[in-house]
Amino acid sequence: MTSPARRPIVAGNWKMNYGPSDAHDFVSGIFDDLDAITSVDRVLCPPAISIAAVHALTQKSGIMLGAQNMHFAEKGAFTGEISPLMLQGLCEYVILGHSERRALFGETDELVNRKALSAFAHDLKPIVCVGERLEDRDANMTERVITTQVRGSLAGLPAERLGELVVAYEPVWAIGTGRAATPQDAADVIAIIRALLAEMYGAEKAAPVRVQYGGSVTAANARDLAALPDVDGALVGGASLTADFVAIVRAFAESVA
């Protein structure tokens, strides 16, 4: 169960799915049920090309939008990139350092950190992803990997605004595999993340940071995850493309009821 001081947040990462027309139809179908769950921050993260279409539906509701990635620069010769200025007025959140960005596109902790600092500078709330690979876990390297990622990706953030930061723990071995981490797996690593943040910024400043779990989150396992005291929500992949997303949000709402 989420701490009373930290409001649950469930974000749906659509990845490379749903162009503007499909995005409009999907959100129209879940809108009423999703908008009615007011005790949880609900964030939809469409591909960049569909953000405006979804924004047109959600702008007068309690449903928020996030981008899946962002360049740190405001403008320039960065073909194919999206700047923070382009997201202002459309998005409240931006996912940074997702494992797919790190593994497939070579994003480093240093780059993720530059993006996180830029997000804060442009009044966007970063959802910063960290997580270990299967080979790391099997080699008992989980704590070392998480420590390196947290220290590198979250260095130098404005301490007075840490309440706007979301950290998503996404064990890479559990993403899209159907093999979710056990509640104890998630709890153990999230405890490491919280201890690191307290060490970096002080316990009082770090206390409001919300930590999500991401990695094969489904309607079937959401209640078990929501029951964990230090899990403040979920970063949902495949299940966010269906009405199961509403059920997942509802599970976190029930955990704070």
Distance CA 181, CA 164 (A): 26
Closest CA to 167 of 185, 140, 186: 186
Q: Which of 100, 107, 164, 170 is catalytic?
A: 170
Q: Which of 55, 71, 98, 100 is catalytic?
A: 98
Residue pair 217/248 in contact (Cβ under 8 Å)? The answer is yes
Residue 98 catalytic? yes
Residue pair 23/54 in contact (Cβ under 8 Å)? The answer is yes
State the DSSP string of 78-142: -TT---HHHHTTT-SEEEES-HHHHHHH---HHHHHHHHHHHHHTT-EEEEEE---HHHHHTT-H
Could you list the active site residues?
98, 170
